[in-house]
Structure 1
Amino acid sequence: MYLPIHVHSYYSFLQSTLSVERIVQKYKELGARFVPLTDTNGMYGFVKLAREAESLGLKPIYGAYIDDPTNKEKYILIYAKNMIGFSELCLLISKRHLEENFQLDEIVKSISENIIIVTPSLELLKQLPPGDNIYAELKPDKNQKYNTKQLYQYAKSSGYKYVASSPIHFEQHDDYLFLKILLSIKYRTNVDKLKTDERIDEEFFFKDEKLWNRIWKNLPEAVSAIDEIVDACNVELKLCDYKFPKFETPNGETSIDYLKQLAWERLNQLYQEITPPLIKQFEYELEVISELNFQDYFLIVWDIVEEAKRRDMVYIGRGSAGNSLISYCLGFTSVDPIKYDMYFERFMNKFRKDPPDIDLDFSWKERDEIIRYVFEKYGYSKVAMISTHVTFRGRSAFRETAKALGFSEMEIEKYSKMIPWVNPAALPNIVGLKEKFPESQELPFDEEPWKRVVDYASKLTGFPRHLSIHPSGILVAPDRITNFTALEFANNKGLGLIVTQPDMYGVSDLGLVKIDLLSQRSLGVLRDTIKQIEKNENK
């Protein structure tokens, strides 16, 4: 049975109508034993793929579509065979986004045996030696018929493997207009003005088994190659298997011993009398930290706090870290948890395996400086900002859909004002606006042509649009971050800020640990006020 291995989700950003969840469900409905994901230059949906595939008993196939920046028609599909290949996949995607002079022709020459390459490009294929990991991608679309024939003839005569591939960008033929709307938003045009090179073939959807069998009936070996690729790909992502960065202690002590030493010294400074209950709480917290293997995390936060003190920065620890005696001793917070009888288990306990949530507020004037310190101290290859996935909300989905369908700005402006800024999770369907919001009562969404706009805008609500930067999350990894996930520039590339492709939830599921360094404008105001008072007093 033929099943596609070239599949795009909505994490190809306005090039697919399919969520990761829907793709996994569809493959289950088709009776598949596997489910692939090959988003454009990205691994944004890998964690969702892992979770959803596991829940439905399917084998996830982690891949990506990597194109050439100077020629988007030239691309490769790459699939990770194992965890080494997975790390290589993350690195290749990162290079595609971060290297100014990225050249696909050069990249393909350096790919190892831990990766499978599939390409429809005859030019690229000729640069690669025939082997078990190299396949020509044979596509049945009418626009590429001649090229596919040439590719097949060359592959067969030159000893290359080839695989049947019908790319998937939408679920069924009726969804093609929705795909055109997405493409119109991407290219800032409308559905009637999409250029040929901006379109996606209208045949790139899931077809029934009979039609696919008819398409590939003369090339059974190309269909069999799909099973070869699936069998060769055996990546097991261990979600929530935490990977803590290593803190280098000054004299080679173990991390837990050094943490105990630092905390004990400060404990004796903070308390006049070291009572048995105080020692008991101190040792209990250290035991929990050690058992959960969080000692290096605590030391890195301590190091950041110490550097802030050395630079005379204003900072405040917030959140449940204030419930911890060890946090108090390390200077994360100035609140005495013993004096106020605060409950440590709200912050950490043996039955909660998630990393502790330690938030540090800095002046908005000084936060960038302390972040730069973290990058310099722990290495630019091991530190990154965490992304957020910016999604379409009700109003933006309505505006963009209406523009794509050719409505004038005047018409769009008139009705978009009546749509409140609504979180997609709170109101996933624009149709429900009238029931909840008085300002939406006059919306003519039950009548054409606006009914069609709303139908498509409702589908668009919640789709990812681009990446932004998490307001506080910074990631410190034990090794190169690209061993675990891919990186790219945030939406404003000019700022030079590099972010993880997964958001904070995906990063956490991958077992990577974030530190929250927040920007607090009021701290800057307080600092300026104190300085001005001191200046006035010294006059």
Structure 2
Amino acid sequence: MSEKQFVHLHLHTGYSLLDGMIHLDELVNAAFANEMEALVITDHGNIFGAVQFCQKAKNKGIKPIIGCELYLAPRSRFDDDVVGIDGRRPYSHLIVLCENEKGYKNLCKLLTSAYQEGFKYKPRVDKEILSSHSEGLIASSACLGGEIPRKIRQGRFEEALKSAEEFKEIFGKDNFFLEIQEHGLPSQEEVNDAIIQISEKTNIPLVVTNDVHFLRKEDFEAHKILLCIQTKTTLEEREGKGKEAYTREHYFKTKEEIWGRFKNFEEGLLNTVEIAKRCRFEFDFETRHFPKFEVPQGYSTIDYFYEIVKKGFEKKILNSPKIKEEDKKHYKERLDFESELIVRMDFVSYFLIVSDFIKFAKENKIPVGPGRGSAAGSLVSYCLDITDIDPIKYNLLFERFLNPERVSMPDIDIDFCVRGREKVIDYVKQKYGNDNVSQIITFGELKAKSAIRDVGRVLGMELKKVDKVAKLIPVEQGSVIGVEHAIKTTLKEIYEKDDEVKKILDYVKKIEYLPRHAGMHAAGVVIAPEPIYNFCPLFRGSKGEDVTQFEKDDIQSIGLLKMDFLGLRTITIIHDTFELIKKSGGKAPTLEEIPLEDKKTFELFSAGNTDAVFQFESPGMKDALRRLKPTKIEQLIVLNALYRPGPLGAGILNDYIERAHHPEKVTYLLEELKPILEETLGLIVYQEQVMQIANKIAGFSLGEADLLRQAISKKNAEKMKVLEEKFRNGASDRKYDRKIVDSLIDQIKYFGGYGFNKSHSAAYTLVAYWTGYLKAHFPEAFMAATLSNFMDKIDDIIKLMNSCRENGIELLPPDVNLSEESFTLEKNAIRYGLSAIKNVGTASVKAILNARARVGKFTDLYQF
């Protein structure tokens, strides 16, 4: 590093929630533009953005350094302090940086303890835990909110001196630094003078920092807006208080600006470079950290995998009367290919772990969905009972799930009955260790509509006007688009003509997409081979749950095993329907016994009589069903894939229905495409079809074809250019006409951009078909089960009851002597459930049922 280098060692990104105002991409780009060789982030009480920061910085050739501004309790982290050393807050600030892996692990433990043990307003550590977890950390005294600066401001110089000596003792004489800052804040000069004196008395070195909270000087006003959103105040209220914790100087200064301002503190400037040189911690993005799966004695992990796959194959394929003998050889070849690839890619433990907890669920009568996402394309998953959909029957591709050309973690998401999901997670915790299993963090963002409302409130804009502007943000393909784009389209006129609106939108542009709050991902669970805090720190959820500080993609990036345990209400409804059929004396079919060619079920779909039928109940879908009049499940799979904003907007759904009734309109650019596109009437509907076309016409392996599929779906122009050329060359080698190939590429890019995962569509359409079958054959039981699962949603109850009446199902009113907690069957009628009565709580319902069980029927109001 050159003499004039400087490294920012105190910097807050957007992950200092509603306090830092810097997007990671913008930060890294600014550092790159200023030729900074290293960069640090020190967010408040967390390292939420650490993984992404490291990846983005390394991609720009910048050395990333992980740090944190810790909250320090005035005494013990276990104390319920209501005031701190300044008589106000029960915490002060302290900067720590990871020098090496030991330091990173210690920081993870400190932050985990801060949330689990020291949370009082903020996640706090104390000097006791710092003393036992200081190795590998470099610390500094922080901003005016640090313990040493605060004591200086209170005129307690000797105590400040003592604190400095304590920190020096905790971290070691070469590992603690005193920060010099200059932001034009009152008392800053006084603090700096005292800091210099303490440095001289203790030999603790100085370091120049800037406490960065926003990127550019002109972002100061927008940062004030952000702080008002955090504190739920207006700008007028904030400015009325007079004192400000920030000035325009809290921006990301260049090396030249810092050297110009602190030229008298050359040692403090050079120390930033020396500290950066010492910090060597890097995330390991290559190693996987899977938990060890215990196999029965006498087996290796791989042998046991082959053994249970073989047993599943025998049960589901070899012994199945539904599969022709001549087809079983193809099944065996596919199984061998998948199994060998799973072994070669070292994912055996992954499959065994998933298979095991699904086995637990099924053995404990916890209903499990038939499959979700691309995992439904795996025959191994089918043989291990991970999925219940035959991938060969539905022509699903394994390479869409696991690509041999690109080593990436498999991703198996599982749907469980909503009442049983927690039991499965508890089983996983028990099997692999409570400390080794955690749920995963997620972040709510400042999106355009909500940001407009927030900024409008802060600036005191009239509510009706704010609402009008927010409603002008359009929704495209199911997603709210960004304000930058909206200003060029739907907001263009009002932005150019109304200065008040322009001011608000200009602020929104600066804060849009910043993290707003942290929460718990609805489904994500991580399973590690040792306590999770050895890999990443834990956060505390709103109900006290342990939650990782890294998002799901970051969890996978550092090699941890992430899975989605989803609660799907429809699976619960199907289970409850079976139970009601049995209770009423009927014979409930198993899911395996439900015929997939049932005439009555397809009549129901063709009539659009699909209220409560999974994924087929919207008005638009009902209309599509009536127009298509499907007669086989493959048509339903296509319809489910096409009923999405992209294909609907492009008119592909209408084209498909038109072709279904006019076969003469079905055409193929090449005859070789007919076997691939015949089921979708010549249209590219599925992502898997793009892969098959590239395989057939251009000679791509299916793994290479999956890379093409990804490039199209992610609109990666650079990769597309390379793969297009490869496609043309491959097609040319096979003697295909160049003009036809160009037309085919255009079709692939157009339709492929809307293409849907066939494996997911097939699996979820199977669930939809099951619900359609139950509604067609057991309407009272199915609707009663559905009503019971929506008892907390009065609007849905009303809609479902109207649907019952339309279908001739008698509805009986609530009766204190006859109603149960949920909706029940009485002969061919549905009795209203007590818990569905508005303002009747669970405790009251249980009291009624208990009293009725004790005394029998209530005879009058007084007895009741």
TM norm structure 2 = 0.58
CA 200–93 in structure 1, closer or farther in 2 if over 3 Å, else same: farther
Match of 2:568 among 506, 520, 538: 520
2:339 matches 1:286: yes
Q: Which residue of 1 aligns with 2:293?
A: 247
1:82 and 1:135 map into 2 onto residues whose CA distance is 18
- How far residue 351 of structure 1 moved from its aligned partner, in angstroms, is 1.6
- How far residue 211 of structure 1 moved from its aligned partner, in angstroms, is 4.6
2:527 matches 1:476: yes
2:15 and 2:228 map into 1 onto residues whose CA distance is 16
Range with bigger deviation, 335-344 or 110-119:
335-344
What is the CA deviation profile of residues 387-420 of structure 1, one whole-angstrom value per residue up to 9, with x for unaligned ones? 2221111110101111122334454345434445
CA 339–182 in structure 1, closer or farther in 2 if over 3 Å, else same: closer
Alignment of 1:5-16 (within 5 A): 5-16=9-20
Contact 2:474 2:481 (8 Å CA) reproduced = no
Contact 1:242 1:510 (8 Å CA) reproduced = yes
Q: Which residue of 1 aligns with 2:387?
A: 333
1:288 and 1:186 map into 2 onto residues whose CA distance is 50
- How far residue 301 of structure 1 moved from its aligned partner, in angstroms, is 0.5
CA 253–126 in structure 1, closer or farther in 2 if over 3 Å, else same: farther
State the number of aligned residues: 533
2:65 matches 1:19: no
- How far residue 264 of structure 1 moved from its aligned partner, in angstroms, is 1.8
2:478 and 2:547 map into 1 onto residues whose CA distance is 24
SS at match of 1:390: strand
Q: Which residue of 2 aligns with 1:180?
A: 224
- How far residue 445 of structure 1 moved from its aligned partner, in angstroms, is 6.1
Unpaired runs of 5+ residues, structure 2, are 74-83, 149-159, 320-324, 587-826, 828-864
CA 277–427 in structure 1, closer or farther in 2 if over 3 Å, else same: closer
2:164 counterpart letter in structure 1 = L
Range with bigger deviation, 99-108 or 45-54:
99-108
Q: Which residue of 2 aligns with 1:457?
A: 508
Q: Which residue of 1 aligns with 2:176?
A: 134
- How far residue 172 of structure 1 moved from its aligned partner, in angstroms, is 2.5
SS at match of 2:523: strand
What is the CA deviation profile of residues 152-198 of structure 1, one whole-angstrom value per residue up to 9, with x for unaligned ones? 21232112222111211122321110110010101111223225677
Contact 1:397 1:458 (8 Å CA) reproduced = no
Relative contact order, CA 8 A, sep 6+: which one is greater? 1
- How far residue 442 of structure 1 moved from its aligned partner, in angstroms, is 8.1
What is the CA deviation profile of residues 52-85 of structure 1, one whole-angstrom value per residue up to 9, with x for unaligned ones? 2122111111111112365476211111112222
1:225 and 1:236 map into 2 onto residues whose CA distance is 21
- How far residue 210 of structure 1 moved from its aligned partner, in angstroms, is 5.3
CA 433–164 in structure 1, closer or farther in 2 if over 3 Å, else same: closer
2:365 matches 1:312: yes
Contact 2:41 2:65 (8 Å CA) reproduced = yes
1:474 and 1:126 map into 2 onto residues whose CA distance is 43
2:447 matches 1:393: yes
- How far residue 200 of structure 1 moved from its aligned partner, in angstroms, is 2.4
- How far residue 212 of structure 1 moved from its aligned partner, in angstroms, is 2.6
- How far residue 504 of structure 1 moved from its aligned partner, in angstroms, is 1.9
Q: Which residue of 2 aligns with 1:104?
A: 126
1:478 counterpart letter in structure 2 = P
- How far residue 333 of structure 1 moved from its aligned partner, in angstroms, is 1.6
Q: Which residue of 2 aligns with 1:79?
A: 97
- How far residue 332 of structure 1 moved from its aligned partner, in angstroms, is 0.9
2:334 counterpart letter in structure 1 = Q
Q: Which residue of 2 aligns with 1:213?
A: 259
Match of 2:213 among 169, 184, 190: 169
CA 277–165 in structure 1, closer or farther in 2 if over 3 Å, else same: same
Q: Which residue of 2 aligns with 1:31?
A: 35
Contact 2:309 2:380 (8 Å CA) reproduced = yes
CA 259–211 in structure 1, closer or farther in 2 if over 3 Å, else same: closer
Contact 1:131 1:161 (8 Å CA) reproduced = no
Unpaired runs of 5+ residues, structure 1, are none
CA 443–375 in structure 1, closer or farther in 2 if over 3 Å, else same: farther
Match of 1:404 among 452, 458, 462: 458
2:435 counterpart letter in structure 1 = S
What is the CA deviation profile of residues 251-270 of structure 1, one whole-angstrom value per residue up to 9, with x for unaligned ones? 26332222122222232333
Q: Aligned-residue CA RMSD in angstroms?
A: 2.7
Match of 1:125 among 164, 184, 202: 164
1:239 and 1:279 map into 2 onto residues whose CA distance is 35
1:296 counterpart letter in structure 2 = S
Larger strand proportion, structure 1 or 2? 1
Q: Which residue of 1 aligns with 2:354?
A: 301
- How far residue 238 of structure 1 moved from its aligned partner, in angstroms, is 2.6
1:270 and 1:78 map into 2 onto residues whose CA distance is 56
Range with bigger deviation, 271-280 or 368-377:
271-280
1:256 counterpart letter in structure 2 = I
What is the CA deviation profile of residues 85-127 of structure 1, one whole-angstrom value per residue up to 9, with x for unaligned ones? 2222222222222324544333322233311111243254332
The percent identity for this pair of structures is: 29
Contact 2:34 2:254 (8 Å CA) reproduced = no
Range with bigger deviation, 424-433 or 296-305:
424-433
Match of 2:413 among 354, 359, 383: 359
- How far residue 520 of structure 1 moved from its aligned partner, in angstroms, is 0.9
1:152 and 1:380 map into 2 onto residues whose CA distance is 48
1:422 and 1:394 map into 2 onto residues whose CA distance is 13
- How far residue 355 of structure 1 moved from its aligned partner, in angstroms, is 1.9
Alignment of 1:428-443 (within 5 A): 428-429=482-483, 432=486, 435-436=489-490, 443=494
Q: Which residue of 1 aligns with 2:398?
A: 344
2:426 counterpart letter in structure 1 = R
Contact 1:397 1:461 (8 Å CA) reproduced = yes
CA 303–183 in structure 1, closer or farther in 2 if over 3 Å, else same: same
- How far residue 527 of structure 1 moved from its aligned partner, in angstroms, is 1.0
CA 433–214 in structure 1, closer or farther in 2 if over 3 Å, else same: closer
CA 341–52 in structure 1, closer or farther in 2 if over 3 Å, else same: closer
Contact 1:8 1:168 (8 Å CA) reproduced = yes
Contact 1:65 1:75 (8 Å CA) reproduced = yes
CA 423–268 in structure 1, closer or farther in 2 if over 3 Å, else same: closer
Contact 2:113 2:125 (8 Å CA) reproduced = no
What is the CA deviation profile of residues 412-451 of structure 1, one whole-angstrom value per residue up to 9, with x for unaligned ones? 3454344456799863225626725xxx698566311121
1:196 and 1:376 map into 2 onto residues whose CA distance is 54
> Larger Rg: 1 or 2?
2
Larger helix proportion, structure 1 or 2? 2
2:100 and 2:165 map into 1 onto residues whose CA distance is 26
1:172 counterpart letter in structure 2 = R
What is the CA deviation profile of residues 20-48 of structure 1, one whole-angstrom value per residue up to 9, with x for unaligned ones? 11111111222211111111112122222
Contact 2:38 2:63 (8 Å CA) reproduced = yes
CA 526–197 in structure 1, closer or farther in 2 if over 3 Å, else same: farther
2:312 counterpart letter in structure 1 = R
1:209 and 1:324 map into 2 onto residues whose CA distance is 54
CA 434–341 in structure 1, closer or farther in 2 if over 3 Å, else same: closer
SS at match of 1:238: coil
Contact 1:244 1:294 (8 Å CA) reproduced = no
